[in-house]
Amino acid sequence: MVAFLAISLALARLLATAGAERRAAIEAIQARAGEDFRVVRVDGPSRLVVGPRTGTARVVWSAAGRLPMVQCVTVRRDGDLLAGFEVSVRAVSRPIGREAAC
């Protein structure tokens, strides 16, 4: 029972951190886009990695009256399961082609 609870808590912390990475990527784009901002799709950077990591999110977004834009956001996660994780944005790319990968 104790092992199940420990695994459940660890998994919950990892999932919460994955959500924080996605939110950080979206907020970084929104800060540059302005008010009329709508997220169309976010790919990555979330992975269930236990330790620190750096990943890239591909964010597709649109603003009123414009075609969708794609930008890549590099996100860093530091910390561990016991102490918790801290998420920071390291870089935001210029817009890339709509079909391009990060």
User: pLDDT (tens digit, 9 = 90+) per residue, 42-73?
Assistant: 998 877 777 899 999 999 999 888 899 999 99
List the 38-43 sheet strands across, edge first: 38-43, 53-62, 69-80, 84-92
Predicted TM-score (pTM) of the model is 0.86
User: pLDDT (tens digit, 9 = 90+) per residue, 3-19?
Assistant: 888 788 878 888 888 88
Residue 36, pLDDT above cutoff 90: no
Query: Which tokens sit at 80?
Result: 């561990």
CA–CA separation, 99 and 64 (whole Å): 21
Q: What is the sign, positive or negative, of the torsion defined by CA atoms of 87, 92, 95, 100?
A: negative
Query: Which tokens sit at 98?
Result: 């709509």
pLDDT band at 41 (very low <50, low <70, confident <90, very high): very high
In the DSSP assignment, the letter for residue 16 is H
CA–CA separation, 13 and 7 (whole Å): 10
Q: Are residues 77 and 18 in contact, defined by beta-carbon separation less than 8 angstroms?
A: no
